Amino acid sequence: MKKAVKMALALLIIAVLTVLITYATLPYLNYIFGALILFIIFRPLYHFLIRRLKIRKQFAALLIIIISIFVVLVPLYFLLNTIIDEIEQLLVNQASILASIEAGGHFLTDSLLRLNIPINIFQAKIEEKAMELASQAVNYTSLFIVESIQNLSHQSIGLLIMYFLLYYLFTEEDSDFMRQVSVAVPFNEENTATLLDEFRKIVRTTLIASGAVALVQGGILTIVFVIFNIQGAFLWGFIAAILSFLPVVGAPFIWVPATIVQFFQKDYTAAIAILAAGIFISVIDNFLRPIIQKRVGEIHPFLSLLGVVIGVSLFGLLGIVIGPLLLSYFVLTVQMFSREYLSGKE
């Protein structure tokens, strides 16, 4: 009985400490996941450096950190700066943008009236709703991205935590501490290995398969928008790239309205070009994504869609990877628990 009480107290202390540590690290959870994602991405390069080139672990880890800064953070910094400038321009010219949309609404209602479609009752409501939605879209897009780059002190601490953790993930990969962490996982060795493989698969699928498609789609739309002098070209290309991670919505959420707006503004050349680019990137999506997924792995579309929606709402842009990962882990752990503890198999 005495031993049982001590065990209960020990479990209580562990539970309380776990809650406190989780609460304390919650603001920096994105950066912890970021370190894990970078670890999976650069792990093959790290092994190449220490095994083939015989570089010391500590120096190889520092080299990987420097490479990741130039490959990930520096381009992201310049991209965000460009997007911020475009948001400022959009906010300055918000009135002209809304005027263009209002003109498009008038054009649509006039066209329907010419076809003898009675819409006089709803005309004012349609135009009012279109203006309201357009205004909300501009404001929401601006706030979402501006809020993502605010609080620089918090981000600086987060980046330090991320790279500090990344350094030790590499240098302590085969240490006793990492083996103890593996032992703490409440599944057998086979299922623990499956969890790690699932993490690698989802990171590679999301960043390589979906990431390559997103880069192509966002890049093509940005180029077309720049050619035809459409305001916020980099911003809309960036949003299209993010939306392309969603299996159902995708980049058409950007290029279809853009085509309609240019048509309403009677810029038919731009409308046709955007439409052609949109159809082209949709074909690329249907052709390129399955080929890459066959090589690096595939996530069920429902898990991917729901995971991205949940992940982005909780973790911001990193939720594109974290959301599908958490949902896949949930399904996987339920299957493992059922197989390991309910079926009677060890």
Is the pLDDT at 118 greater than 60? The verdict is no
Per-residue model confidence as pLDDT tens digits over 55-87: 998 999 999 999 999 988 888 778 777 777 776
Of the pLDDT bands very low, low, confident and very high (cuts 50, 70, 90), residue 105 is low
User: 43: number of CA atoms within 13 Å, CB side?
Assistant: 15
Of the pLDDT bands very low, low, confident and very high (cuts 50, 70, 90), residue 114 is low
Q: What is the CA radius of gyration of the chain?
A: 25
Instruction: Round to whole Å and give the CA distance between 314 and 332.
Output: 21
Give the residue among 313, 42, 303 at the shortest CA–CA distance from 198: 303
Q: What is the pLDDT of residue 63?
A: 94
Taking all residues of the chain, what is their mean pLDDT, rounded to a whole number?
75
What is the dihedral sign for C-alpha 59, 62, 67, 68?
positive
- Give the alpha-carbon dihedral of 148, 153, 155, 159, to 10 degrees: 170
Per-residue b/e over 61-93, b at no fewer than 16 CB within 10 Å? bbbbbeebeeeeeeeeeeeeeebeebbeebeee
Q: What is the pLDDT of residue 223?
A: 93
Is pTM beyond 0.85? Reply is: no
Domain residue ranges of the chain, discontinuous segments joined by +? 28-184, 187-346
Instruction: Round to whole Å and give the CA distance between 213 and 98.
Output: 31
Name the residue with higher pLDDT: 283 or 174: 283
Over 254-306, what HEC string results? HHHHHHHHHHHCCCHHHHHHHHHHHHHHHHHHHHHHHHHHHHHCCCCHHHHHH
Mean pLDDT of 210-233: 87
Is the pLDDT at 158 greater than 60? The verdict is yes
